[in-house]
Structure 1
Amino acid sequence: MSRRIPDRWFLLLALPLLLAVPGCAHTDPPPPPEVRAGRPDRGATLIAQYGCGSCHTIPGIDRANGLVGPPLTRFGSRSYIAGKLVNNADNLQHWITDPQAVVPGNAMPDLGVSPIDAQDIAAYLYTLD
C-alpha cells in the first residue's frame, strides 16, 4: 500500500517554491548606456552638420527625417548597434567613426567623424531613450 501525502502538506511544501520562481524570472533592465565625457548639445549640432538626418530620422534634430537608415528614436534603449555590437559607448563611437570596419559593405558611409565628434554624437543619441 502506498502512502499518500495529504494535499495540504503538498501545498505547504510547494508554496515557497512557487513564490520564489517569479522573483528569479524578473530582473531590472540595465541602465541606458551613456557617454560620461560627451556633450549631447554639441552632439546634436554635429549630427546636423554631418548630415546624419539625410539617412536617419532623429528626434530633436531639424530636418532629420531620412528613410535610408533606421530611425534613431529611443536609441538609448536599444540592445544592439547595426545588429552586431552590444549597445555601449565604446561600440557606438567605433560604429560612428568606422562603420565599414564593423559591417563591410553596409549602407552607412564613412563620414570622417573624429573620435571627439563621435563621443559627442553618441552622448546625444543616448539621450534618446
Structure 2
Amino acid sequence: MNWNALGRPRPPLLVAVAAVAVLAACARVPPPPPPEVREGYPERGARLIQQYGCGGCHTVPGVDRADGLVGPPLTRFGARSYIAGELPNNAENLRRWIQDPQSVEPGTAMPDLGVDEADARDIVAYLFTLE
C-alpha cells in the first residue's frame, strides 16, 4: 500500500492518476520553433535541386526525377526539428549542411557538391516550403 505524508494510505486510483499526469507532462516537450526563411527563391531552388542531382540520392517532392533512395526523403523537410540528426533545423544550419556536410558530420555519405552561397540559399528556401 502507498502512504501519504500523514501516514494514511493513498487510494491506488489517485496514485495512478498522478503518475499518468506526471508522465504526460514529461512527454509534452515542445519541438523547436519552425524554421524561418526570409531569403532565397524557392522556385529557383527546385531547379537547382534538379541541376545539382540531389534527386539521385533523395526523394524530393515537386522536383522531377528526384526519387533517390540513398539519402533520406526530404518530404516535409520544413516541419523537421533537426538536420542530419545533428543541427537544429533553421536556414543557416541547412545552408551550412548543403555547402559543407563534412564539417557537420565527418564521414557522412552526403557529398560536397560545390554549392555556392546563393544557390544554397535558394535550395534552403525551397526545402522549407515542404511542410
TM range (shorter): 0.7 to 0.9
> In structure 2, which of residues 13, 37, 51 is the aligned counterpart of residue 49 of structure 1?
51
Q: Which portions of structure 1, spanning 4 or more consecutive aligned residues, are displaced by more than 4 angstroms?
A: 24-31
Equivalent of residue 113 in structure 1, options 96, 112, 115:
115
C-alpha distance in 2 between matches for 1:117 and 1:97: 9
Structure with the bigger percentage of helix? 1
* Cα shift readout 1:35-75 (whole Å, capped 9, x = no counterpart): 21110001001000000000000000000000000000000
Whether the aligned pair in 2 keeps the contact of 1:34 and 1:123 (CA below 8 Å) is: no
Cα deviation code 1:105-126 (max 9, x no counterpart): 1000000000110000000000
Provide the secondary structure at the position in 1 that maps to 2:44: helix
Q: Which residue, 90, 93, 102 being the options, matches 2:104?
A: 102
Instruction: Determine the structure 1 residue equivalent to 2:95.
Output: 93
Letter in 2 for 1:124: Y
Q: Number of matched residues? A: 117
> Residues 27 and 99 of structure 1: is their aligned pair in 2 closer, same or farther, counting only changes over 3 Å?
closer
Structure whose CA Rg is larger? 1
Distance across 2 between alignment mates of 1:43 and 1:123: 7
Consecutive unaligned residues in structure 1, runs of 5 or more: 1-20
- Identical positions, percent: 71
2:67 partner amino acid: N
TM-score normalised over the length of structure 1? 0.77
Q: CA RMSD in A?
A: 2.5
Query: In 2, distance between residues paired with 1:28 and 1:70?
Result: 24
Look up the equivalent residue of 2:42 and give its one-letter code: P
